Amino acid sequence: MTLRHQYSAASSPAHRLEACWVVVNLVFFLQETDRQILSALLEKEDEDQRRQSARREWAAADAAWMKHVIEEQLQLEKEREAELQVLFRWVCPPLSIV
């Protein structure tokens, strides 16, 4: 096949139409691929935000529980201190100075 024949075949309307369809299909494929990538990234970001929100909720619940436990411990300590004061007064009554 001569160069002139190859050029004629490559520049024929059917060949140009086929080349256009290849380009259109390639662009569509790339757009669809980009859309899929963007969709996957958005889904991952949403999942990360849900996980972070859940971690914050757990941390807040843990902090509230720890605060409650500490308050209970402080109350127990106050009660024990009061009991010790009563016992100390009973065992060691104040001295009377005459």
Q: With contact defined as beta carbons under 8 Å apart, do 12 and 6 qualify?
A: no
Separation of alpha carbons 12 and 32, rounded Å: 30
Residue from 96, 90, 68, 95 nearest 82 by CA = 90
3 confidence band (pLDDT: 50, 70, 90)? low
Tell me the per-residue pLDDT of 30-87, one tens digit each, with 9 for 90 and over: 999 999 999 999 999 999 999 999 999 999 999 999 999 999 999 999 999 999 999 8
Helix (H, G, I), strand (E, B) or coil at 97: coil
Provide the pLDDT for residue 78: 97
Mean pLDDT of 8-37: 82
Q: What is the DSSP letter of 57?
A: H
7 confidence band (pLDDT: 50, 70, 90)? low
Separation of alpha carbons 73 and 51, rounded Å: 33
Separation of alpha carbons 91 and 10, rounded Å: 114
Provide the pLDDT for residue 98: 60
Higher pLDDT, 45 or 13: 45
